[in-house]
Amino acid sequence: MVYIGRMLTYQQLKDQPRDFLAATGLMVAEFERLLPAYQTAYEHCYARQLTLAGKVRRRQPGGGSKGALDQAEDRLLFILIYLKTNPLQTMHGLQFGLSQPQTNYWIHHLLPVVQAALQELDMTPERDGSQVATSPLALAGTPDLALDGTERRRQRPQDPDEQRAHYSGKKKTHTDKNIVLVNESTSKVIYLGPTESGTKHDKKAADEAAITYPAQATLDKDTGFQGYEPAGVLTRQPKKSRVAKNSAWPTNSSIR
């Protein structure tokens, strides 16, 4: 997906659903459901009659030259692509006709708006593991859940102790990680764990999270969570054949 010589906009991308999903993590219909809540949150965060410094405007909103992100849908597209792809700010700005300082400004300007919009729609994942069992995101659909660890590269710390703490032997680089719990019937993230250093084991992070699960829940997990067996939950872990290296769910999972 390459856009050269023109600024990336919602109007041009919405007619390319596969590219749209790859870039934002949302289908066009999902984006359009989010947009009204985003607009409401934006007006709440940045009142039109006030400047960014909180002073009453001397002229009508919208005066002066138009910026690259003048339309609400383009602003939402901008921040969703950033959150989905995590590019360098310089590279992200190139897609929208912005310099790196302008890109940095818009990222920090729009992040609280998206967070407020998702919270209004009850779409923000729990950060407290003890609240997962009663979360509307966990109770939607069937209680079929999946637990996984996510790991992403970070800048190499200057402090030697921090370097060792963040060095991931699995990724062969310095990383941060979180564990996430997903509702498999809705594909929504229910729980997002705290950010940990790359050396922390997935099972240890899950144990420390003390997640509570809905009744009759099933939990898919990989070998990083070997031995993690929360009470009252049917856990399933894939096994690899020594010959074919293919995965299959075991039949002897038990409830504890």
Where is average pLDDT lowest: 207-221, 226-240, 242-256? Answer: 242-256
Q: Which of 98, 120, 142 is the last residue of a domain?
A: 120
Average pLDDT taken over every residue of the chain: 84
More reliable by pLDDT, 158 or 60 = 158
Q: 124 pLDDT band (50/70/90 cuts)?
A: confident
The domain total for the chain is 2
Whether residues 165 and 186 share a domain: the answer is yes
In a domain, 103, yes or no: yes
Distance CA 117, CA 92 (A): 22
Could you tell me if 103 and 191 lie in one domain? no
- Is position 2 within any domain? no
Residue 219 inside a domain? The answer is yes
- Average pLDDT for 114-135: 91
**43 Cβ contact list (under 8 Å, min separation 6):** none
Predicted confidence at residue 158, as pLDDT, reads 83
Write the DSSP string, 20-51.
HHHHHSS-HHHHHHHHHHHHHHHHHHS-TTB-
The parent domain of residue 108 ranges over 10-56+68-120
Same domain assignment for residues 42 and 149: no
> For 56-66, how does the pLDDT look when each residue is reduced to its tens digit (9 = 90+)?
666 665 555 55
Q: What region does 33 belong to: left with phi over 0, alpha with psi -120 to 50, or beta?
A: alpha
Query: For residues 49 and 11, what is the distance between their CA atoms, to the nearest angstrom?
Result: 28
114 in the same domain as 161 = no
Report the amino acid identity of residue 26: L
